[in-house]
Structure 1
Amino acid sequence: MADSNNKPRVVIVGAGFAGFNAARELSRLIGATAEIVVINSTDYFLYLPLMPQVTGGLVESAHICVSLAGRLRKTRFVLGTVNRVDARRKTVSWDGPEGSSGQVGYDRVILTAGSVNKLLPIPGIADYAHGFRTINEALYLRDHIIRQLELAALAADPAERAARCTFVVVGAGYTGTELTAHGQRLTTRLARVLPGLAGQEIRWLLLDTSPRVLAELDPRLSRTAERVLRRRGVEVLTGESVEQALDGSVQLTTGDKVATRSLIWCVGVRADPLVDGLDLDTNRGRLQVDEYMAVPGSDDIYACGDCAAVPDLTRPGQICGMTAQHAQRQGKLVARNVAASLGKGTQRPYKHGDLGFLVDLGGLAAAANPLHVPLSGPVANALTRGYHLSAMAGNRMRVAADWTLNGITPSEPTSLAVIDAASVPLDVNKPRA
């Protein structure tokens, strides 16, 4: 569906790591000869890896958000949530803010809808757990943690005080481990300035069914991360999880009951619910695509990132993991393949080389294995932060300034309480009451 100037139209659904990088690369390649439309539910690209540092108070939330309109100058940006992709009519429909809606035709569409919190059939999780996928969830959680300690300091009942000072994190992958590390440092700083918490134990529990934290990492780095957490007093419980979430407590799979007002869910993610409504084949809940990230049988539909099951050519029969590293690379390559389908360049299959992983544990602690060289401590920390600065799409100086200032003087741990629990439901299909 060409526009009035006979330019082909490419519609990109979503502007996370995959969509944002696809839009930038496509603008560079064919921005003058095609119309590029980006549809996203927010007007910013969120640099997800630094969200634990937002909750921990090391980085300002606005500094990990980059304006889409400002960075994607050669595209048409639409603020809305896509609710339908009609492959037969070649149209994309969306719901906009304040009751608006719209529809646009396409010659090519790139589906990069991303992912949402992954739920498990555990009673009470959707009602009492807090997720950690959006900037609103990061801000809400920071306020919630601070508020719990402030209320604990005023509580006359020792049992209530102990429950408010207990934080349970489920999932010891990258997100859960980093969030626990930064959250524990935040509560330690805050407890020092609240006289009512003098002598009170502040508990952080990190649970995972895997036999070790950061199971994706080299065992040596996993042990390093666990050692750092345990040294800070974190209770690392591997081979365990939550059996039931209740109002004011959680039941563990071991039978133990832990009183807490803070259950944080970092178990993993699943493809955006948009995928469920598409009449397209899926693989493990993600859109089925070939090595060129094209949907089989549809020469005008492409998909990548967390919502797509991109074949991992380095591991025959497997699909790529749902990581920012994959999404960023796939976004750039899918743009080149779409441009090639429109006569600019040649299509190439997605085949990646693993660059390694980095985990920031707060302070000078970190674990990293760049190019499979295991590192820990200040060297790993410097490398981790250097990588984040290089990978960010903007605000690098602001983030570097945040780190510098917070290294000199701690941030003020205050609760703004601008986001309530009803605004950040764990289950996107089941808002909190």
Structure 2
Amino acid sequence: MNRPRVVVVGAGFAGYRAARTLARLARGRADITLLNPTDYFLYLPLLPQVAAGVLEARRVTVSLPGTLRGVRLVLGEADHVDLDARTVRYTGPEGDAGTLGYDRLVLAVGSVNKLLPVPGVAEHAHGFRGLPEALYLRDHVTRQMELAAAETDPALRAARCTFVVVGAGYTGTEVAAHLKIFTDRPARRGGPRPRWLLLDVAPRVLPEMDERMSRTAARALRARGVQVRTGTSVREATPDGVLLSDGEFVASRTLVWCVGVRPDPLVTAVGEPLERGRLLVDPYLRVPGRPEVFACGDAAAVPDLRRPGEFTPMTAQHAWRQGRVAAENVAASLDRSRRGRPYRHRDLGFAVDLGGARAAANPFGIPLSGPAAGAVTRGYHLAALPGNRVRVAADWLLDAVLPRQGVQLGLLRSWSVPLDTASPELARVPGGPDPTPAPAGDAPKTHPTDPSDSAQGDRGNR
């Protein structure tokens, strides 16, 4: 008798948890295949620390073959799902095409950078959703500080060490906080003083979180020297800087785009009902009318049973827990002795790492700040990491007692990490297949080489 085929698409928080739980529940009674562009699970919350040189890049990755026993990994990116034929078509890392058949399908493709129709953003902004983007940003910021130190023109020196972050949500706040510390260190050795701006159209930082956390984060950012501009957005981005909505032009060579995320464009092509770009599912995470198809994570609009009429937000907490419920319900659909269950979850609180000993957290609704919040935040990340806990803790300890290595690795150029891509986890390579383009209606898929990113830039002299 043939074993049922289960295909999990995506190895983010939801997909990784679903595959791991399914392998434990199936115990060899099903063929489980995980389709993902990379061979690792990326722990996104620690990505700002990679960009700031606190953590080595591999610390925030967890090997899929090494941790998912009983799961077959297929490297590739899904580009079409045929629900009637029960197949998933994908493109491999070397451009080869393939097809996977399934009896049960779990769509956990996650999210990508959210684009807005702002002139120049697609060409000149840097995203922050994948490891290549974090590594490029660290090199770029290091390069700008080094060039500023050697610059004799005061205006150009100021532009090179001015950094603009758009989006004061979870990611943007942490990026500004950590990288401000990163650029302060060369300044203390006699280099140029960096200027960091954090912009958001909302009236406060962390607008989606508790107001007490927002005030704590804003105080910490301002005390560190980050200029927080609420009620402000970008009207236009150029090679020489950004034009703000209040009419001010900020000369800069760095624009970091952290305005939020949108569901992976793959779900729009599935052909099933959507809710703001997310695939509609029932409380059991099944696609209505397709009992063999499940969806979870950022790409799924999951009903919030605690708030009737609303859907769960796109957070890692929900994705991680939805992955487990999806796996349990897939297992129940294959084994009548098991019972499925609806997804129901109450937030346990949030934590925002602001660098050093500073953080803002509200575990179980208890507001914390300062060293206590820092300890809770790092303890939470260590507990949530599926692997590399000792290595991460060791990097934190070394960062506390040793200076960071502010060097350029020169592994990526700007055209390798376009903002308007549906594949932020993949760096574009010469002669390789292009990352999946953004769907029609978003910003045009153009990301020319930065004016100063010439062959000279490959040698780290940009």
Normalised-by-shorter TM-score class:
over 0.9
- Aligned counterpart, 1:427: 420
1:230 corresponds to which of 222, 232, 240: 222
Unpaired runs of at least 5, structure 1:
none
Percent identity (aligned): 59
> Contact (CA 8 Å) 2:50, 2:56: kept in 1 or not?
yes
Amino acid corresponding to residue 345 of structure 2 in structure 1: H
Deviates more, 1:130-139 or 1:214-223: 214-223
- Aligned counterpart, 1:209: 201
1:277 corresponds to which of 265, 269, 274: 269
- Please state if 1:186 is matched with 2:216: no
- Aligned counterpart, 2:332: 340
Amino acid corresponding to residue 381 of structure 1 in structure 2: G
Instruction: Measure the CA separation in 2 of the matches of 1:80 and 1:416.
Output: 27
- Aligned counterpart, 2:41: 45
Q: CA deviation at 1:215?
A: 1.3
List per-residue Cα deviations over 1:276-301 (Å, max 9, x = no partner). Answer: 22111111001011111100000111
- Please state if 1:156 is matched with 2:168: no
- Aligned counterpart, 1:321: 313
- Aligned counterpart, 2:5: 9
Instruction: Measure the CA separation in 2 of the matches of 1:83 and 1:144.
Output: 31
Amino acid corresponding to residue 165 of structure 1 in structure 2: C
Amino acid corresponding to residue 321 of structure 2 in structure 1: R
List per-residue Cα deviations over 1:90-148 (Å, max 9, x = no partner). Answer: 01111002122211110000000011000011111101100000000011001110000
1:410 corresponds to which of 381, 403, 412: 403
- Aligned counterpart, 1:306: 298
> Contact (CA 8 Å) 2:187, 2:193: kept in 1 or not?
no
Q: CA deviation at 1:192?
A: 2.7
- Please state if 1:331 is matched with 2:305: no
- Please state if 1:141 is matched with 2:137: yes
- Please state if 1:132 is matched with 2:128: yes
Q: CA deviation at 1:431?
A: 4.9
- Please state if 1:254 is matched with 2:269: no
- Aligned counterpart, 1:96: 92
SS in 2 for 1:98: coil
Instruction: Measure the CA separation in 2 of the matches of 1:15 and 1:44.
Output: 8
Q: CA deviation at 1:275?
A: 1.3
Amino acid corresponding to residue 432 of structure 1 in structure 2: H
Amino acid corresponding to residue 179 of structure 2 in structure 1: G
> Contact (CA 8 Å) 1:146, 1:190: kept in 2 or not?
no
Unpaired runs of at least 5, structure 2:
422-436, 438-444, 449-462
> Contact (CA 8 Å) 1:367, 1:380: kept in 2 or not?
yes
> Contact (CA 8 Å) 1:21, 1:331: kept in 2 or not?
yes
SS in 2 for 1:45: strand
Amino acid corresponding to residue 174 of structure 2 in structure 1: E
List per-residue Cα deviations over 1:361-385 (Å, max 9, x = no partner). Answer: 0010000000000000111101100
Instruction: Measure the CA separation in 2 of the matches of 1:296 and 1:260.
Output: 49
- Aligned counterpart, 1:401: 394
Structure 1 residues 7 and 324: CA distance shift in structure 2, 3 A: same
Deviates more, 1:215-224 or 1:399-408: 215-224
Instruction: Measure the CA separation in 2 of the matches of 1:221 and 1:281.
Output: 36
- Aligned counterpart, 2:103: 107
> Contact (CA 8 Å) 1:422, 1:431: kept in 2 or not?
no
List per-residue Cα deviations over 1:287-317 (Å, max 9, x = no partner). Answer: 0111111000001111010001111111111
> Contact (CA 8 Å) 2:263, 2:278: kept in 1 or not?
yes
Instruction: Measure the CA separation in 2 of the matches of 1:17 and 1:76.
Output: 18
* C-alpha RMSD of matched pairs (Å): 0.9
Instruction: Measure the CA separation in 2 of the matches of 1:325 and 1:345.
Output: 25
Instruction: Measure the CA separation in 2 of the matches of 1:135 and 1:431.
Output: 21
- Please state if 1:391 is matched with 2:421: no
SS in 1 for 2:291: coil
> Contact (CA 8 Å) 1:109, 1:302: kept in 2 or not?
yes
> Contact (CA 8 Å) 1:293, 1:303: kept in 2 or not?
yes
SS in 2 for 1:300: strand
Give the TM-score, by structure 1 length: 0.97
1:357 corresponds to which of 311, 335, 350: 350
- Aligned counterpart, 2:171: 175
